[in-house]
Amino acid sequence: MTNFPYLEKPSSLREKLAQLIFVRIGSNLPPVQTVEQEASRVASLLKECPIGGLLLFNGRRGETARTLAHLQAQSRCPLLVAADIERGAGQQLIGHTMFPHAMAFDAIDEEAEEAVRLFAKLTAATARSNGIHIAFAPVADVNIDPENPIIATRAFGSEPQRVAQLVSEFVTSCQAEGLLATAKHFPGHGNTHEDSHSSLPCVDSSLGYLQACELVPFRAAIEAGVSLIMTAHVQYPQLDASGKPATLSYPILTELLRNQMGFQGAIVSDSLLMEGVKRESANEGSLAVEAIEAGVDILLDVADPVATLDALSEACSQGRLTEERIEEAFSRLWHLKELAFAERNDFINTVPVDVNFPAETGEQLAANLALSCARNAVEIVADSKKLLPLSTDRSLLTVLLKPFETDLDLAEQPLADELRKRFSQSTYFELGPNSGQAEVDEILAEAKSAEQVLVAMIVKPAAWHRFGLEEKHANLLCKLLQHECCVLASLGTPESLKPFDEASAKICTYSDVPVSQTALVEAIVNATSPSEGPSNAGRGAE
């Protein structure tokens, strides 16, 4: 292993154990906290417990980089900063570009590989310039179950070889720009009916089936040199008859991933706050010990790091965890730090890695690429009555259906303004889970006089949130579809369109991010019906 003298390696066993712990900074869930609001808590923790890294949520462009640099200066060892940035740095750093969900890349067909390469390159450069070292991306799951509530459009697709190809492209390009990539969720979360954030899913597939399907993208990621693999809080009884989730399974993590598949990088758990794994142990400390025993090297999203460190130390003193196992995990973690902090300045000032384009130019490239991908991913699924394109001179009623809302939602989605720019008479409603009958009645009254109707659904995977339409929203939708000119759009999974056979015009964008909302509006005013031209209306859009 390369030696970097400015990285002072911990010498005591307790310090090495602490390095295996990552805690979150910032939160997108109630109570919502920015990275900046959480900085003092983390600074205090660093004095008590020399943790190895941070899991970042809800940051701000520029401001978060300064916050992280300040925390790095207070840490005895350099902190690895990781983030869920499947959709680009803008997913966790407000002010940067947000890309469409991964499935949108698959939808652009032959240009997908080049788009993923550039997407990964831009994401890496932006993340590193903000003090982030690890992307918890790409999702290497194959979306086998079309009604999967937590993977769905987060996956590149449903065909193993195609997913493997795009995963490999992402890993290679991301790491070439200095950002460590993570393939997740091993050995595959794409064939589940439940969300592991709130339950313990079970996949009863044989090893042979897994080898031919779910494991294919992970093999590709390993061959591409992926630095980390994240575990799934999912049971695989055909791989481990004990019923333990993969995160706690020695047969899955050590025998399969390490010994059979030959992965030599770091194994990181999915969040230890998720119900899919929390229920398996009496407390967080015993959970951490089980995970390390199974083969996990990095304990992610630990709520009580001091108590967890005490439990790990006690397990070592009792002989349950051997020094050899701890040294093995620590060595993998430290190697990541040597990769991330290849230059002294990366630790002291969090200076961006050397990239091939200036920061502002890179941001403009990212914005252009995100919009291009969103446009090219738009698919006109049906238009049997030739309703498309809609006329900008005729009145339009738009209803956006949102099965869930978060504290970070905008007061009004970008879709509303995009429609107002193009339609001279535009009436817009958003219905969330708390919408009442009065709003429904007002919409139905507006529909009687509207010349055109657009109903857009946000049906997408999101942790701890409802997947699919609320019954009251589905009932309203059925009534609106009786309008002679009603277009139904999914700002998410294409599966959400299938129950509505009465819809003569259907569009899917595969994502609800702002650029996908823009692309939807462009599509409904410029669309070509499937029978008249390419099914992807966004291709070639200006």
Q: DSSP label at 229? A: E
Summarize the confidence of residues 134-157 as an average pLDDT.
Answer: 92
Q: What is the mean pLDDT of the chain?
A: 91
Quote the pLDDT of residue 408: 74
Structure tokens that stand for 37 in this block: 């609001």
Residue 459 neighbours by CB under 8 Å, 6+ apart:
403, 467, 468, 469, 490, 491, 492, 493, 495, 496
Cα(282)–Cα(261) distance, integer angstroms: 32
Quote the pLDDT of residue 342: 83
User: Of 60, 75, 148, 156, which Cα lies nearest the Cα of 112?
Assistant: 156
Q: Is 70 a catalytic residue?
A: no
Summarize the confidence of residues 98-109 as an average pLDDT.
Answer: 95
Cα(118)–Cα(258) distance, integer angstroms: 31
Quote the pLDDT of residue 529: 55
Structure tokens that stand for 139 in this block: 């999702």
Quote the pLDDT of residue 527: 81
Quote the pLDDT of residue 88: 98
Spot the catalytic one: 197, 233, 465, 473: 197
Name the more confident of 524 and 536: 524
User: Of 403, 395, 413, which Cα lies nearest the Cα of 514?
Assistant: 413
Separation of CA 148 from chain center: 15
pLDDT tens for 168-220 read 999 999 999 999 999 999 999 999 866 666 578 899 999 999 999 999 999 99
Residue 541 has pLDDT above 50, yes or no: no
Q: Is 240 a catalytic residue?
A: no
With cut-offs at 50, 70 and 90, classify the pLDDT of residue 409. Answer: confident
Cα(139)–Cα(182) distance, integer angstroms: 8
Angle at 150 between CA 369 and CA 52, to 5 degrees: 80
Structure tokens that stand for 312 in this block: 């790990």
As a three-state string, the secondary structure of 462-507 is CCCCCCCCCHHHHHHHHHHCCCCCEEEEECCCHHHHCCCCCCCEEE
pLDDT tens for 441-477 read 999 999 999 999 999 999 876 554 556 788 899 999 9
User: Of 496, 214, 373, 110, which Cα lies nearest the Cα of 488?
Assistant: 496
Instruction: Give the Cβ contact number of residue 76 at 10 Å.
Output: 12
Summarize the confidence of residues 525-542 as an average pLDDT.
Answer: 52
Question: Phi first, then psi: what are they for 443, rounded to 5°?
Answer: -65, -45
Summarize the confidence of residues 323-331 as an average pLDDT.
Answer: 98
pLDDT tens for 233-250 read 999 999 999 999 999 999
Residue 354 has pLDDT above 50, yes or no: no
Quote the pLDDT of residue 313: 98
Spot the catalytic one: 270, 346, 383, 512: 270
Cα(448)–Cα(451) distance, integer angstroms: 8
Question: Phi first, then psi: what are they for 481, rounded to 5°?
Answer: -70, -10
As a three-state string, the secondary structure of 169-220 is HHHHHHHHCCCEEEEEEECCCCCCCCCCCCCCCECCCCHHHHHHCCHHHHHH
As a three-state string, the secondary structure of 354-415 is CCCCCHHHHHHHHHHHHHHHHHHHCEEEEECCCCCCCCCCCCEEEEEECCCCCCCCCCCCHH
Q: Say if CB 298 and CB 253 are below 8 A apart.
A: no
pLDDT tens for 483-531 read 999 999 999 999 999 999 999 999 999 999 999 999 999 999 998 655 4
Query: Which residue do the tokens 């009604």 mark?
Result: 147
Percent above pLDDT 70 for the chain: 90
With cut-offs at 50, 70 and 90, classify the pLDDT of residue 30. Answer: confident
Please report how many Cα atoms fall inside a 13 Å half-sphere around the Cα of residue 40, on the Cβ side: 2
Quote the pLDDT of residue 462: 59
With cut-offs at 50, 70 and 90, classify the pLDDT of residue 78. Answer: very high
Summarize the confidence of residues 86-93 as an average pLDDT.
Answer: 97
Percent above pLDDT 90 for the chain: 80
Cα(143)–Cα(222) distance, integer angstroms: 20
Q: In Å, how far are 128, 152, 185, 444, 524 from 228, measured between CA atoms?
A: 17, 22, 11, 51, 41
Instruction: Cis check for the bond before 31: say yes or no (omega within 30 of 0).
Output: yes
User: Of 404, 454, 382, which Cα lies nearest the Cα of 425?
Assistant: 454
Residue 292 has pLDDT above 60, yes or no: yes
Residue 352 has pLDDT above 60, yes or no: no
Helix (H), strand (E) at residue 454: strand 452-457
Quote the pLDDT of residue 226: 98
Angle between helix axes 437-449 and 471-480 (nearest 10 degrees) is 10
Catalogue all structural domains in the chain, each as residue range(s) with its CATH number.
Answer: 19-359 (3.20.20.300), 378-526 (3.40.50.1700)
Cα(107)–Cα(520) distance, integer angstroms: 14
Structure tokens that stand for 27 in this block: 């939160």
With cut-offs at 50, 70 and 90, classify the pLDDT of residue 144. Answer: very high
With cut-offs at 50, 70 and 90, classify the pLDDT of residue 155. Answer: very high
Cα(214)–Cα(187) distance, integer angstroms: 7
Summarize the confidence of residues 271-300 as an average pLDDT.
Answer: 90
Residue 534 neighbours by CB under 8 Å, 6+ apart:
528
Angle at 319 between CA 317 and CA 320, to 5 degrees: 110
Structure tokens that stand for 328 in this block: 């093995």
**At 10, is the secondary structure helix, strand, or coil?**
coil
Quote the pLDDT of residue 537: 44
Q: In Å, how far are 85, 119, 298, 390 from 273, measured between CA atoms?
A: 19, 30, 14, 46
